[in-house]
Amino acid sequence: MIDLDHQSLVAFAKSWGLFYLIALSAGVLVYTFWPANKARFARAKKSILLDKDDKPWR
């Protein structure tokens, strides 16, 4: 079994923790600005104001 002492845990957190957060930020930005998503977001943005009849769809 790997000996998980305080020092190795700290080393892991300080290195991989950083990469994971950078990867996550990049992922979020790519998703947000992905051109194919533009129409979908524009629709979602207006959708709540278009709901006039106040009834479920089925």
Partner 1 sequence: MIAQLTTTERQIGLVLALIVTLLGAALGLAGRHDVLAYHGLLIAAFGAVVAIAILRQMDRPEPGEERLSEYYDDPIRVGIVLTMVWAIFGMFVGVWVSALLAWPELTFDAAWASFGRLRPAHTTGVIFGFGGNALITTSLHVVQRTSRARLPDQVSPWFVLLGYNLFCLLAVSGYFLGITQSKEYAEPEWYADIWLVIVWVAYFLLYIRTLARRKEPHIYVANWYYMAFILVVAMLHIVNNLALPVSLGSAKAYSVFAGVQDAMTQWWYGHNAVAFFLTAGFLGMMYYYLPKRAERPIYSYRLSIISFWGITFIYMWAGSHHLHYTALPQWVQTLGMTFSVVLLVPSWASAGNALLTLNGAWHKVRDDATLRFMMVAAVFYGLSTFEGSFLAIRAVNSLSHYTDWTVGHVHAGALGWVAMITFGALYTLAPAMWKRDRIYSATLVEVHFWCAVIGTLIYVFAMWNSGIVQGLMWRTYNDSGTLTYSFIESLVAMHPYYIARTVGGLFFFVGAAVGAYNIYMTIRHEPLPASARLGAARSFVPGE
Give the footprint of partner 1 on this chain (CB under 8 A).
10, 14, 21, 24-25, 28-29, 31-33, 40-49, 51, 54-58
Q: Measured between alpha carbons, how far is 36 from 7 in angstroms, rounded to an integer?
A: 45
Task: Find the helix or strand (DSSP H, E) in which 23 lies.
Answer: helix 6-33
Residue number, 1 or 48, with CB nearest to partner 1? 48
- Least CB distance to partner 1 at residue 47 (A): 6
The CA-based dihedral angle spanning residues 40, 46, 48, 49, taken in that order and rounded to the nearest 10 degrees: -160
- Least CB distance to partner 1 at residue 8 (A): 14
